Structure 1
Amino acid sequence: MASSRKPAASEPVGAAQTPIIGTPFEQAVAAECERRLFHLRERGVAVACSGGKDSTALLHVLARQSARLGFRLVCLHVDHGLQPASADWAWQVGEAAAQLGVAADARRVDVTAVRELGVEAAARSARYAALAEMCAVRGVGVLALGHHALDQAETLLMRLLRGAGPGGLAAMRDWRVDGSELVRWRPMLNSQPAEIAAYLAHYGLEPIDDPSNASDDYLRNALRHRVLAPLLDIAPQALGTIGRSTRLLASAADSLLAQAQSDLAACRANRQTALCFPEFAKALRGPTLDLARLAALDDFRRASVLQLWGRGSGVEPPPEAWLVQAWRQMNLATPDADPDVRWQGWQWSRHRGGLDCLRPSTASTSADTLAWDGQAHWSPTGWPGGFCFERCSSLGVPGALLRSLPLVARARKGGEQLGMDPRRPLRSLKHWYQSLGLPPALRRRAPLLWLGDRLLHVPGIGTEHRCIAGGDDVWQIRWAAD
């Protein structure tokens, strides 16, 4: 049995100290704490505790390790409101934390708001959002989760049923950084349920019994009871070997990611749309890709590049079948065509051998009017952006001219002409768009700016030269996409 004595004042307390531990489970978690100790002390740790067996064991063991190794620990509980006794569970978790000397927070979430995802997915989405918010409030950077080896095996089977690739089949990582820089830490991922049960018995801990864990209506529970339980009867070592496979798959997925990152860098187009047309930079997500370089890759590497590019653009990776069809459309279109495909509101657009990812937008077809009187910015109704007016000391549009007539923002109708050079005749907007190489997908995202019935400024092209003069009160006009 583990000793419960406290170290004398002269005894050093730290990672080098002999651990005061009594069970294999505690030994494993203690080793994980020592391995991650720098981060734990630097960031602080929040343990997500539902009050069930696994998270109760994790709260208890981390409280002991926190006292031994000197990192800050808080306990977080999320009440999903799915069980009649859920409010009592929140109180019990708070009491358990208080007995261990650990500060606790709890939050109730509304799962119905994301119920279309399914109960399991909705609860998970709401839970992680609430945990992240509580971590931010507490100033904690590491979120400890009570997943163990059986949970990992269940996750692998669920990913297999979805046809996941190496990254998905790696299942849960033991140390994962979220986009918010919050680390999800699973210090007991290699622990067996029997080891956790032995730890609970060793310390006389009484966890909450959630009746939903017995229901096979949920896929994870059904896999646990109907698939993994018989499998473990046949092959008791299965959880250990499955865990080894997920770690190997994680290494393979990391190597493939490194290859995709290298390929993505190599597929950057020489001509970047965001640099050529900075007024539309915010409408673009990620670099412009070179279609010829993409075409030179094999199907798997090209799909990996497009998925990585999409993630960097804020897009969830599309299904493989969609990627194949989208590439077919891009590849088979005639050279003078400008095809685009859409996924979850995002637009992938091809133009002159380049591929851009654009954020969702709805362009207005109606006109908006402004009586300008020195405003620095004007966002016409319905358009994803606005016109900026900046006083300048060289050449620009005279303020008196801007005040003389209403400014009108409206969509292009066709046939409009603009003069950009006093030595050359007026040219159609089509001519200017083509000569400058502004992609059609961007042309439709900004209105033309008129001064009365005179075309004054066209985003991506410039200002009518006949409206430009020198003086003390002159203004430059530019479009800024949202």
Structure 2
Amino acid sequence: MVEKRNWFLRKVWQTVRAYDMFTRGERVVVAVSGGGDSVAMLLALKKLAQALGLELVVAHLNHQLRASAREDQTFVCQLARDLGLPVDTRELPRELLSGSNVEARARVLRYAYLREVAQRFDCTKVATGHTRDDQAETILLRLLRGTGLRGLRGILHVRSDGIVRPLIDCSRAEARDFLLELGVPWREDESNRDLRLLRNRVRAALIPELKAMQPGFSAAVARLATVAREAVDALDAVVNEKLRSVEMAEGHLDLASLRELPPYWRGELLRLWLRQQTGTVPEPALVRKLNTAVESRTQPFVVLSGRKATGYVCTRGEYLIYVPQDQVSRIAEDQDWSAVTLEPGRSYSMPGGWLFTVEMCVEPQRELDEMTRDEMSALVDADALKGSLVARPARHGDTLTPLGMRGKRKLQDVYCDRHVARLERWGRPIVEDAGTIVWVPGVVRAAHARIRPTTRRAWHLRATRLGVERSG
């Protein structure tokens, strides 16, 4: 049983039991940096391990960002040996954390390492030493950057990927008092005093001011996180029910039913649907863009999920569908649409969320000088055209002569040179004149019907893209 006289162990025990963090017989990776929070967590779990039926494995990642990092690593190894626990450590190559945004990249690498240790040691949970103070800092940072209801949940006690936080209801001071009572030392991270980092400024300046105004500030923020978490759980239950009402066969969504929903509910439903379809949590910006595109009734559009595209989201008939990466070829075939003849003074909505506008230009030389080089607009010599300008889908085998170059090139090779994602290549609109490509919007202007010093009449083509988002 728990040592009844130890207040700290009782508090950790109550949190562990209240959130069903562990199951008897589980092996748990304990992430230990050497700081007071993680050392207190390790000692508490070691004392509770028999009562909880747990086997512990200590893990430490040396980021090599500080002069004392090697000493931290040695300290953790010795502590694990003193406790009779297996320990795994690793040193990150310094080049992996060079450049900007070091904190974020270090966090990604740290969790990847912990998942790897869990797999090697056959562990089902990973325990991290986040405290109630970390909770308050995290929620304040999210408020400063702008957050919604989900962000106000802060650091979750238990995550779906097996990450658990046994100390989340304890304060940082309580963790250190526990160690002082036991006579166990810990390491101090000197980078926590670096006020160039926003989190450190929040910790050193903002939170003390808030605590001076409201002594129970951290506890109040923890209560806010609990209320937000309960609200999100209730919201998700309702959204799940609504999703069942608009989801058709094969996971397709009925667009008419989607458009009847208020924007907030539709956004929550799309977030849940994307998570189910992709297996990852979609970025808020992606959900907002997709929500707007559905409401604006644009033509079929694409959503790229991640830096490397993992799938399409597009409309097919009256349905919204998701198609994964391994079925891209099927999408390319489905994006084969009928050609459209372009005329001045009109706008055209194209598949893929493209919108074309065509205008006559009476001063082509002046407009050419003022045009930006983003390939989203093009000037075409009207008198050099052999026929009508036509927008059609790009196809395998297309060739063109890029402006400023001699000789034809395969469109496939141009796509590769311009780093156009595979999902974005085929089926996108291109403009041609009598079978000769004039322009590939967003990619390249061809030499055909280019503006010359003698040009008197020209067409100004502009393209915009609706409902498209890259995340990550």
TM-score by length of 1: 0.63
- Find the counterpart in structure 2 of residue 210 from structure 1: 189
Map of 1:287-302 to 2, 5 A cutoff?
A: 287-302=251-266
- Find the counterpart in structure 2 of residue 118 from structure 1: 101
Q: Which of the numbers 91, 94, 99 marks the counterpart of 1:108?
A: 91
Q: Give how far 1:330 is off.
A: 4.1
Q: Which of the numbers 114, 125, 145 marks the counterpart of 1:162?
A: 145
- Find the counterpart in structure 1 of residue 14 from structure 2: 31
- Find the counterpart in structure 2 of residue 458 from structure 1: none
Equivalent-residue separation in structure 2 for 1:156 and 1:163 (angstroms): 10
- Contact kept, 8 Å, 1:80 with 1:111, in 2: the verdict is yes
Which moves more between the two structures, 138-147 or 61-70?
A: 61-70
Q: Are 1:64 and 2:55 matched, yes or no?
A: no
Q: Are 1:319 and 2:284 matched, yes or no?
A: yes
Tell me the SS of whatever aligns to 1:356: strand
- Find the counterpart in structure 2 of residue 255 from structure 1: 234
**Pair 1:341–1:143, CA change in 2 (3 A):** closer
Q: Give how far 1:263 is off.
A: 1.8
**Pair 1:96–1:303, CA change in 2 (3 A):** same
**Pair 1:22–1:103, CA change in 2 (3 A):** farther
* 1:142 counterpart letter in structure 2: K
Q: Give how far 1:326 is off.
A: 3.9
Map of 1:72-221 to 2, 5 A cutoff?
A: 72-110=55-93, 112-113=95-96, 118-178=101-161, 183-221=162-200
- Find the counterpart in structure 2 of residue 390 from structure 1: none
Deviations along 1:236-269, one digit per CA (max 9) or x if unpaired, are 2111111111011000011111222222222113
Which moves more between the two structures, 162-171 or 128-137?
A: 162-171
User: What is the CA RMSD across the aligned residues, in angstroms?
Assistant: 2.9
* 1:253 counterpart letter in structure 2: V
Equivalent-residue separation in structure 1 for 2:98 and 2:227 (angstroms): 35
Gaps of 5+ in 1: 1-16, 273-286, 365-409, 415-440, 446-482
**Pair 1:177–1:264, CA change in 2 (3 A):** same
Map of 1:39-54 to 2, 5 A cutoff?
A: 39-54=22-37
Q: Which of the numbers 239, 243, 254 marks the counterpart of 2:218?
A: 239
TM-score by length of 2: 0.65
Equivalent-residue separation in structure 1 for 2:303 and 2:14 (angstroms): 50
Equivalent-residue separation in structure 2 for 1:72 and 1:444 (angstroms): 53
Tell me the SS of whatever aligns to 1:136: helix
Q: Which of the numbers 348, 358, 366 marks the counterpart of 2:323?
A: 358
**Pair 1:92–1:332, CA change in 2 (3 A):** closer
Relative contact order (C-alpha < 8 Å, sep 6+): which is higher?
2
Which moves more between the two structures, 98-107 or 47-56?
A: 98-107
Deviations along 1:129-168, one digit per CA (max 9) or x if unpaired, are 0011001111111111111110000011112123222111
- Contact kept, 8 Å, 1:29 with 1:61, in 2: the verdict is yes
- Contact kept, 8 Å, 1:47 with 1:73, in 2: the verdict is yes
- Find the counterpart in structure 2 of residue 277 from structure 1: none
Gaps of 5+ in 2: 331-393, 399-422, 428-472
Equivalent-residue separation in structure 2 for 1:254 and 1:358 (angstroms): 28
Count of residue pairs brought into register by the alignment: 335
Q: Give how far 1:58 is off.
A: 0.9
**Pair 1:156–1:111, CA change in 2 (3 A):** farther
**Pair 1:360–1:49, CA change in 2 (3 A):** same
- Contact kept, 8 Å, 2:34 with 2:186, in 1: the verdict is yes
Tell me the SS of whatever aligns to 1:42: coil
- Contact kept, 8 Å, 1:109 with 1:130, in 2: the verdict is no
- Find the counterpart in structure 1 of residue 355 from structure 2: none
Equivalent-residue separation in structure 2 for 1:115 and 1:254 (angstroms): 39
**Pair 1:263–1:324, CA change in 2 (3 A):** same
Deviations along 1:307-330, one digit per CA (max 9) or x if unpaired, are 11222232552435x545544444
**Pair 1:23–1:214, CA change in 2 (3 A):** farther
Q: Give how far 1:359 is off.
A: 3.5
Which moves more between the two structures, 46-55 or 186-195?
A: 186-195
Tell me the SS of whatever aligns to 1:165: coil
Map of 1:394-433 to 2, 5 A cutoff?
A: none
Tell me the SS of whatever aligns to 1:25: helix
Equivalent-residue separation in structure 1 for 2:181 and 2:226 (angstroms): 30
- Find the counterpart in structure 2 of residue 308 from structure 1: 272
- Contact kept, 8 Å, 2:266 with 2:291, in 1: the verdict is no
